[in-house]
Structure 1
Amino acid sequence: MTTTVLERVKMENQYAKLFEAMKIGKMTLKNRLVMAPMGTFTPMQDGTESEEGIAYYEERARGGIGMIIIGAQFLNEKTAQGGPTMSVDNNRAIPKATVLCERVHRWGAKICAQISPGTGRNGMPDIGERVPISSSENPSFYNPEMICRALSTEEIKDIMKDWAQAALFAKKAGFDAIEIHGHAGYLIDQFLSPIWNKRTDEYGGSFENRARFAVETVQTIREAVGPDMPILFRISLDHRFEGGRTIEDSMPLIELLEKAGVDALDIDAGAYETMDFIFPPSYLGDACMGYVCEEARKHVSIPLLNAGSHTPETALQLVNSGNCDFVMFGRQMIADPEFPKKLMENRREDIRPCLLCNEECIGRVFNRTTQISCTVNPQVCMEKYFQIEKTSSPQNIVVIGAGPGGLEAARVAALKGHHVTVYDKSETLGGTFGVIATGPFKKRIRDLITWYGVQLSKLNVQVNLNTEINVDDPILEAADKIFVATGAVPFVPNIPGIESSHVLGVVDAHQNGVEGEKIVVCGGGMSGCDTALELALEGKQVTIVEMLSECARDVMVINKISLMRQLAENNVTLLTDSKVVSVDETGVTIEKKDGTVELVPADTVITAFGQKPSTDFPDAVRKQYNIKTTVIGDAEKVSKAANAIHTGFYAAMAIE
């Protein structure tokens, strides 16, 4: 009996266990990999999904995932108080939803509609009803002075009618399954949890009464869709804050949900009070919520799904343990939609890692209320418009600087078929971005730099390290296009003693290590805080001095929750409203807001006052070769990695 090449690859693949077919109810998934539900902010104002959203999901289906669970769709606009979703309360959205389902089905993936009755007390007061609804008269999460309105029993019965309509919407549109969003302290969770449910009617009080809203939801959906369409239930088993539900508290709930007819449970941890577990940043590490599976497995027999910053290795470990049946990947599927296919084909080295940075996915939603993107993948939600196509007229491209922007420009230009050469004056790829990625919580940055190196090698990009180019170099004159990605340089204020031998710049500190036990970090932005945490993890006594009223002002708000908690847990002292006035061999003299002066003892002082563009070389190149020169990333404007990578991508895509 002969075997195909693909079958042989599967047999030899250490991740083969992840590619076993597996059932949820009567539905068979082709593998154990599931795309976790994440809002996209792509639906149109009329409640239909946009072409951008459909193409986004289709690209991930094409990449080999077993099932896609789309981000939560709300029953109606009134109860939602969240972002734009498909209008599951109106049949006008069914045709576009059908297009979505069929374009996903084309690639052999299943698609599941996650539906929510609303955010409840987590709702934004300026969306939907003026006053958020909840199980009881709870304080609004975003504005604790505002007390939510408790739903009446008549309104709950109306919600059940809405559930029936939404379930029929999903079935008519062609979705394979429905997932109930009972997660993260949203409305269903507010009924389930004693901390939020203070009702005295049939929907409050006893355990069974508190679960009634969820159980009736399951029963309503089952009646609407019939016996064959799988129903999943997403639930946080461990809220991780005082007064929230614990794993032990959650076990009777999942047993009851199984009895009610739920076909699978999507389990993890967190609530809005511990929001960093809803969108886990790099500080929480890999597989940060896998721990909930072991106890859950003892209490239910239906399939379990688990998310939480998994890697292929943690996914395999979890499935092999028997404690979980499907592993969910959210932001990793945003970063690399072909991740499952690459893993199946034994191309682990080609998987572009998610940085867990939250900047361009949930960060865009939180900060800009616009559709998601990705720091490392500028094509997200722009798949139709940002297709990389081979050129029929290859050009000679010179890239100066091997930081993330230069590396992305080189990769994309080479994919388009151009001849690309990269020059960097340092010994390694990655620029400053790579140099400062020394902490354990920056492993994925190191992985990304390694990934770029592998891709450039496979694309035959010539990389010249330890090579500094000047403006008169013949290489520039001979190039058809020049990409300048020379980055930024540290900003060092004029402070007495700043040039002392025991004072290090933050980049030097990462590159060469830090001696001494008492360390003062001058500057409490993201770079300074990350450096302080890394040194504290090494056992050093660290103090951060920050002139403003708070540290980590430039850190994405969700990431900041984890960062500040870990700084506190590792005994890092934060001195805010404190200005560095001088440095000497004994330490750092600071001036506080009230004008008092204090000496902070230090063996080593690290300066992290920020960066400024290194403009001399870019300006000189533009002056001589303006028409064929593009300046990328921090060399133009100091920003975060996303700006460097995206501008590098755009520069390469702009080559005709």
Structure 2
Amino acid sequence: MDYKKLFTPFKIGNMEVKNRIVFSPIGINASNSDGTISNDEIDYYEERARGGAGLIIMGAQFISHDIAQGPLSGILEHTYVIPKLTTLCETVQRYGARIAAQLCCGTGRNALPNEYGEPPMSASPIPAAYNRKVNCRPMSHYDIKEIIKKFAYSAKNVKNAGFDAIEIHGHAGDLIDQFMSPIWNKREDEYGGTDEKRARFPMEIVRSIRNAVGPDMPILFRMSLDHRFEGGRTIEDSMHLIKLLEEVGVDAIDIDAGSSEAIEYVFPPSYLGDACMEYLCEPTRKAVNLPILNSGNHTPETAVRLIESGNADLVMFGRPLIADPELPNKLMCGNREDIRPCIRCNEGCIGRIAARFTKLSCSVNPQACNEKRFNIKHTKIPQNVVVIGAGPAGLEAARVAAIEGHKVTLFEKEKVIGGQIAAVSTPAFKNKLCRLIDWYGVQLKKLNVKIQLDTEVTAADEILAKCDKIIVGTGAVPANPQIPGIDGLNIINLIEVHKNKELLKGENIVICGGGLSGCDSALELATEYGKKVTIIEMSDSVAKDALFANAASLIPMLYKSGVKIHTNSKVTSIDSNGVYIETHDGSSEFIKADSMINALGMVMNNKLAEAIKAKYYTKTRFIGDCEKVGNVGTAVRMGFYAAISLE
């Protein structure tokens, strides 16, 4: 494909952007507690500017400390934050990129209670998201006017810091969006009752910022045009609102879909496919004459298609630029095959913030948010490195060690690289995992890594005695719990099913185990092969190991595709006709099946690893699932660590 259209300049107001590629605003939870940004953030944004993005929009920065709930991405109410922000701006601008500050007045009903236990504020006394028995505190006129003043003050600060533009955070069902939406705005004063009145709050914010920064600084507005839940705002509902924003002087509209009730569209997982919010662009183009930015699982190919359609002017890449900050430059130089793909797992970026309260990183790019600390340096003492196992951990270890200048030999007992992910990436919604394996293949070839496939290493092999370092990533194998009949001819482990669907006989398939892998397989078999699938899960819900945003997409798709789900149900025995289960009340039930799948988890495959370590303990390191069973991201990170720690 010809990607030249992505590298034409475009103007938003008086600001010219050098290309059509925008780094989406994503909070990275790395700022300092006093509201200043950290050096890690500066390094992180610098890497995306160096990589060729035309416009970088920072993750939300809050206009005051008392409403700064959510990821730590800076607070703008004091002038002492300006010097560090200036360093950021000038660091980004040296590469010809533009940078916008996204200003946010908080999450409203989506916030947690503050330190005094007070409920969050919102447009109206609607139920708080964290506890629907608690009503939000409706904002008074004084509250509204104070927020508008704080927007102006924050806007002055970011202008003085040197930002090129300002974006107003008005999307995803947060506070500003709550004013714009009748499902949340029940006011009967001048801020509620009609579209014009519901738009008064954001319009007054726009006017306040314009008065603060003058006529030349572009103001963008980010907005969810389709909430995607019953009673939420639809595309049709949103068209009048964006016309009002255009009339008040917004210079560009940044559009997406979703809300806290449709969280999967805020952090779109792989199940939603490519360009899942492109559908918003055509009606928006017809409604307003503003520049349009669009996000939502874009690829370089969908970006070209969207720009060529004329329905949008700039295309936003968030997680793809976290996975590979050099994406724009690689495209511009004709090196599409060198772009490391985002696998849309959400685990290494949003998952780290939401589940662990730590800073963002990336499952396939451990350097994200540690650009300086994890810089790969060329070695002065090249070593002979043997890597055993070409799963994601081994592939990453081999890649990084070769970049450092070591001589690397990679052994794999199968006929292809990729390990388990080569096997389980058969569903269409996992095509990015296939791309990841292809990418590793290209990189290792360019780095002259010697790959020996279909070769099983033993601890007695001479190459292990002669090499300087041994990195072992032999992965994991399916668990085989002591269940009567589990070794029967018509029960197949999940990995083998992915490798060969012909092993499954008949139409009725029972999957024993409702973790993420089992659920993904159920969805694939139901939607792509037309099978009648039943999941048996011992705990009270399926896909417990899936991130909340991913599960929010996956589980409804399972039900829609006709998959039957039995939770609180334990597999007690298996025979040639099906599965016997014990339900939560102690009763027994028989589920008829033509074929059954063992998806009861994985265990470490470390027998070879332990034998090698026993013989060469000073030069051996375990990585990936043979050290600790995890996911793609944990495997890649362990491989990266092993290689970057080589002298």
Category of TM-score, reference length = shorter chain: over 0.9
Alignment partner for residue 240 of structure 1, among 197, 222, 228?
228
| Residue 137 of structure 2 is aligned to residue 146 of structure 1 | no
Separation in 2, partners of 1:128, 1:311:
45
| Residue 534 of structure 2 is aligned to residue 546 of structure 1 | no
Separation in 1, partners of 2:314, 2:213:
24
Counterpart of 2:434 in structure 1: which amino acid?
R
Give the corresponding residue for 2:566.
575
Give the corresponding residue for 1:10.
none
Separation in 1, partners of 2:63, 2:86:
18
Following superposition, the deviation at residue 94 of structure 1 comes to 0.3
| Residue 557 of structure 2 is aligned to residue 566 of structure 1 | yes
| Residue 311 of structure 2 is aligned to residue 323 of structure 1 | yes
Q: How does 1:431-450 map to 2 (within 5 A)?
A: 431-450=419-438
CA distance change for structure 1 residues 127 and 323 in 2, over 3 Å: closer, same or farther?
A: farther
Q: Deviations over 1:242-276 (max 9, x none)?
A: 00000000000111111110000000100000001
Q: Deviations over 1:275-301 (max 9, x none)?
A: 010000111111111110011000111
Alignment partner for residue 588 of structure 1, among 564, 579, 584?
579
Following superposition, the deviation at residue 87 of structure 1 comes to 2.1
Separation in 1, partners of 2:319, 2:635:
19
Residue aligned with 2:614, SS:
helix
Q: How does 1:365-380 map to 2 (within 5 A)?
A: 365-380=353-368
Residue aligned with 2:199, SS:
helix
Alignment partner for residue 86 of structure 1, among 47, 57, 74?
74
Following superposition, the deviation at residue 556 of structure 1 comes to 0.9
Following superposition, the deviation at residue 416 of structure 1 comes to 0.3
Counterpart of 1:635 in structure 2: which amino acid?
C
Q: Deviations over 1:189-234 (max 9, x none)?
A: 0000000000011111111110000110111111110000000000
Separation in 2, partners of 1:551, 1:187:
32
Q: Deviations over 1:597-656 (max 9, x none)?
A: 111111110000101111211111111001110100100111111111001001000111
CA distance change for structure 1 residues 127 and 266 in 2, over 3 Å: closer, same or farther?
A: farther
Counterpart of 2:636 in structure 1: which amino acid?
I
| Residue 482 of structure 2 is aligned to residue 494 of structure 1 | yes
Following superposition, the deviation at residue 74 of structure 1 comes to 1.0
Alignment partner for residue 340 of structure 1, among 328, 331, 338?
328
Separation in 2, partners of 1:263, 1:475:
64
Give the corresponding residue for 1:360.
348
CA contact 1:81–1:125 (8 Å) conserved in 2: no
Q: Deviations over 1:328-387 (max 9, x none)?
A: 000001000001000110000000000110101110110111110100000011101111
Separation in 2, partners of 1:272, 1:330:
19
Give the corresponding residue for 1:462.
450
Separation in 1, partners of 2:72, 2:538:
39
| Residue 530 of structure 2 is aligned to residue 518 of structure 1 | no
Q: Deviations over 1:68-105 (max 9, x none)?
A: 00001111121232232322110000000000000000
Q: Deviations over 1:287-324 (max 9, x none)?
A: 11111001100011110000001000001111111100
Separation in 2, partners of 1:80, 1:193:
22
Q: Stretches of 4+ moved more than 4 A in 1?
A: 126-129
CA contact 1:39–1:72 (8 Å) conserved in 2: yes
| Residue 259 of structure 2 is aligned to residue 271 of structure 1 | yes
CA contact 2:25–2:102 (8 Å) conserved in 1: yes
Alignment partner for residue 386 of structure 1, among 374, 389, 408?
374
Separation in 2, partners of 1:184, 1:253:
15
61-70 or 492-501, larger mean C-alpha shift? 492-501
Separation in 2, partners of 1:579, 1:278:
35
Give the corresponding residue for 2:52.
64
CA contact 1:591–1:598 (8 Å) conserved in 2: yes
| Residue 173 of structure 2 is aligned to residue 185 of structure 1 | yes
CA contact 1:332–1:354 (8 Å) conserved in 2: yes
CA distance change for structure 1 residues 347 and 128 in 2, over 3 Å: closer, same or farther?
A: farther
| Residue 624 of structure 2 is aligned to residue 622 of structure 1 | no
Residue aligned with 1:627, SS:
coil
Following superposition, the deviation at residue 557 of structure 1 comes to 1.2
Counterpart of 1:591 in structure 2: which amino acid?
E
Counterpart of 2:93 in structure 1: which amino acid?
H
| Residue 189 of structure 2 is aligned to residue 201 of structure 1 | yes
270-279 or 496-505, larger mean C-alpha shift? 496-505
CA contact 2:83–2:161 (8 Å) conserved in 1: yes
Alignment partner for residue 652 of structure 1, among 627, 640, 643?
643
Following superposition, the deviation at residue 423 of structure 1 comes to 0.3
| Residue 68 of structure 2 is aligned to residue 77 of structure 1 | no
| Residue 206 of structure 2 is aligned to residue 218 of structure 1 | yes
CA contact 2:65–2:77 (8 Å) conserved in 1: no
Separation in 2, partners of 1:353, 1:417:
24
Residue aligned with 1:650, SS:
helix
Counterpart of 1:520 in structure 2: which amino acid?
V
CA distance change for structure 1 residues 315 and 127 in 2, over 3 Å: closer, same or farther?
A: farther
Counterpart of 2:160 in structure 1: which amino acid?
K
CA contact 1:504–1:606 (8 Å) conserved in 2: yes
Separation in 1, partners of 2:471, 2:398:
9
CA contact 2:21–2:314 (8 Å) conserved in 1: yes
Following superposition, the deviation at residue 129 of structure 1 comes to 6.8
Counterpart of 2:208 in structure 1: which amino acid?
T
CA contact 2:170–2:223 (8 Å) conserved in 1: yes
Counterpart of 1:178 in structure 2: which amino acid?
I
CA RMSD of aligned residues (A): 0.9
Q: Percent of counterpart pairs with the same letter?
A: 56
Give the corresponding residue for 2:243.
255
Residue aligned with 2:361, SS:
coil
Give the corresponding residue for 1:533.
523
- Taking structure 2 as the reference length, the TM-score comes to 0.99
Following superposition, the deviation at residue 571 of structure 1 comes to 0.9
Following superposition, the deviation at residue 515 of structure 1 comes to 3.1
CA contact 2:18–2:54 (8 Å) conserved in 1: yes
Following superposition, the deviation at residue 444 of structure 1 comes to 0.3
What is the aligned length?
A: 644
Counterpart of 1:530 in structure 2: which amino acid?
D
| Residue 627 of structure 2 is aligned to residue 636 of structure 1 | yes
Separation in 2, partners of 1:252, 1:573:
42
Residue aligned with 1:626, SS:
coil
Separation in 2, partners of 1:325, 1:45:
37
Give the corresponding residue for 2:497.
509
- Taking structure 1 as the reference length, the TM-score comes to 0.97
Alignment partner for residue 278 of structure 2, among 262, 265, 290?
290
Q: How does 1:393-432 map to 2 (within 5 A)?
A: 393-432=381-420
Residue aligned with 2:616, SS:
helix
| Residue 179 of structure 2 is aligned to residue 175 of structure 1 | no
